[in-house]
Amino acid sequence: MRLAQPFRLFVQRFAFLSLVIASFGLMVFGKADPKSIASLRTSISDAVAPILDVMSRPTSAVSNTVTHLEELRDIRAHNESLIEENRRLLEWRQAALELQAQNQSLRELLNFDPPPPPEFVTARVIGDPGGPFAQSVLLNVGARDGIAKGQAVITGEGLIGRVAQVGNRSARVLLLTDINSRIPAVIESSRARGILTGDNGDQTRLLFLPANTTVGPGERVVTSGHGGVFPPGLPIGVVSSVSDGVVRIQPFLRRHRLEYVRVVNYGLAGILNSDRMDEAGGLSE
């Protein structure tokens, strides 16, 4: 045992010295013959790669297992959310089917002849010539595309205005917020009718409501269909405030975000008067 310990120390020192000499030799050899060193390095990498691959598999397997467990947890929560959403949708579907059946029955009793589906043209807003005294936008469609004065202009959210002027290749739309705009409207919940007027601001006003009409913020306002210009039920906006008898409406129109709109021909001539529209430069009902 006493002889083995000095021998072990000698071997350790010799091994350390051998490693130092080998490292120095490799550095010198690498400078002298870099191609051989590169080839040797590649061979060593190829030989060690399978070993590293085997050694890394347990770590990768543990990592994948943890990831799968987290995904299963998320999937379970998402599945519960989808089940609840599906339950609500089924309830709405059932209610919709019942209303559809009632509607069909009432139409049969009234001998109702549904109107043909409206024609429409999708247009792009190419200009905003409006200013502090005008609220309008210019579209890239005109008479050659079937556009006519008085047609409704809508977005996915609702009504934004009406075609006021038509050229061969362009059309000008007078927005709901223009001071010349007059739209027969109705509060959706109470069915109280009034006239929606613009004031060249971001909001509009609902005038000529029946006396003692109760209106609260958040109530939806839609077209009433009176005057035969717009069909009933087109969304316009929501009541934003009621102060001193003045009902202000926040329209769904977002003028500075308008890109694409739909010009719709509902086939309603209504009480539009082209001469009056030309004189006013806008809408009048």
**CA distances in angstroms from 221 to 84, 86, 136, listed in the order given:** 31, 30, 21
Q: Which pLDDT score is estimated for 240?
A: 94
**Sorting pLDDT into bands at 50, 70 and 90, what band is 265?**
very high
Q: Which pLDDT score is estimated for 279?
A: 42
**Cβ(255)–Cβ(129) below 8 Å:** no
Cα–Cα distance, 134 to 115 (Å, whole number) = 35
Tokens standing for residue 110: 């009234």
Helix, strand, coil abundance in the chain, percent, nearest 5? 45, 25, 30
* Average pLDDT value over all residues in the chain: 80
Cα–Cα distance, 176 to 161 (Å, whole number) = 5
Mean pLDDT, rounded, for 221-227? 90
Chain segment 196-219, per-residue pLDDT in tens: 999 888 899 999 999 888 899 999
Other beta carbons within 10 angstroms of residue 135's beta carbon come to: 27
Other beta carbons within 10 angstroms of residue 256's beta carbon come to: 6
The percentage of the chain sitting over the pLDDT mark of 70, rounded to a whole number, equals: 74
Q: How far is CA 27 from the centre of its chain?
A: 63
**Sorting pLDDT into bands at 50, 70 and 90, what band is 32?**
low
Q: Which pLDDT score is estimated for 110?
A: 78
Q: Which pLDDT score is estimated for 147?
A: 93
Chain segment 98-152, per-residue pLDDT in tens: 888 888 888 777 776 777 788 999 999 998 765 555 789 999 999 999 999 999 9
Q: Which pLDDT score is estimated for 250?
A: 95
Specify the 3-state DSSP secondary structure of 220: strand
- Residues 6 or more apart in contact with residue 97 via CB below 8 angstroms: none
Q: Which pLDDT score is estimated for 73?
A: 81
